[in-house]
A = this chain, B = another copy of it.
Amino acid sequence: MAPKASSSSRKTERADKSFLWTRKDLVGIDELSSEEIVHILDTAESFKEVSTRSIKKVPALRGKVVALMFFENSTRTRMSFELAAGRLSADTLGFTAAGSSVAKGETTLDTVRNIEAMGVDIFVVRHSEPGAPHMLARKVRGAVINAGDGPHEHPTQALLDVFTIRQRLGRVDGLTVAIVGDIAHSRVARSSILTLRKLGAEVIVVGPPTLVPSAIAAMGCQVSHDLDAVLREVDVINMLRVQFERFGSQLFPSVREYSRLYGLNADRLARCRKDVLVMHPGPINRGIELTSEVADGPNSCILQQVTNGLATRMAVLYLVSQCVA
């Protein structure tokens, strides 16, 4: 399966020092080459060290302004970008749609253009509308980073995931990764499948038929509705969050039923490879996607993902900032 992708990524996992990043925006994994993805990971590697220092700061973005444009709520991703920007010595400007000019009927583009006119250099955008960051990227002079556009993409989450896989397992190319849960509505799943395929991994998406559209196979992944059937062959198992707050109980017959069929517990973990890597984008519903035993156990890298998110976002902020006029 996909030998070509595999072979190309094999080459790129060796860092190419002469690679030149040329994108002012990061709106989706879709448009990135495997070389670009690896360059982001390598840059993140070099920033990871900063977070281990006593004074966790570098002056790379001093005097630059990063606007955190969250048209849709977020705590974790916003905090991660805010800390990443601060660690690069950038100033940050918060924006939330509630009570803002958006509520006064202003268009998204006008809002962003107005804030750009205040001298903002980089926009980190979360928006409910798929493609909103792409549209903005074409229209503004500043850099645009997609922090989640509806169910479409969430590229920095996918990047921090492969960063973590590479860190823990030494490579991505040739691995088999299961992504389990609500694939249909998940921007994390979409961006992850794209990233993993570009870096030469096999991807198996697993979940109930209502949540795993068969069309997803066109992205180059296998589809399964039986978690138990794939446990033995995977190197990585990424458990997606059940988004109760979005879908209520509409899509699941019952939470207990979902958990019984697609939850990862000690029993299922025992049937995986010994060093299988357990991931979750958070926040966890303990006892549903994962039991606490698994979430807090030695195979889990969930908190490392969070730590690596900072280094990855520092890398992305730094790279795009170099391409803003």
A contact set with B: CB distance below 8 Å: 51, 53-57, 62-65, 73, 75-76, 79-80, 82-83, 86-87, 91, 93, 95, 99-101, 103-107, 110-111, 113-115, 117-119, 244-245, 282-286, 303-304, 306-307, 309-310
Task: Pick the residue among B79, B93, B95, B104 that contacts A115 (CB under 8 A).
Answer: B79
Do A100 and B75 touch (CB < 8 A)? yes
Do B114 and A101 touch (CB < 8 A)? no
A193, B284: Cα distance in complex, Å: 40
A4, B58: Cα distance in complex, Å: 53
Do B104 and A283 touch (CB < 8 A)? yes
Do A57 and B65 touch (CB < 8 A)? no
Residue on B nearest A59 in the bound complex, by CB: B55
Do B93 and A303 touch (CB < 8 A)? no
Integer count of this chain's copies in the complex? 3
Do B104 and A245 touch (CB < 8 A)? yes
7 of the cross-chain contacts (CB-CB < 8 Å) are A54-B63, A83-B118, A105-B285, A110-B282, A117-B304, A117-B306, A119-B310
CB neighbours (8 Å) of A105 from chain B are 244-245, 283, 285
Do A56 and B119 touch (CB < 8 A)? yes
* A25 CB, nearest partner CB in chain B, Å: 20
Beyond A56-B63, A73-B99, 10 extra complex contacts between A and B, CB < 8 Å: A56-B65, A65-B86, A75-B99, A79-B93, A103-B245, A106-B282, A106-B283, A117-B306, A118-B307, A118-B310
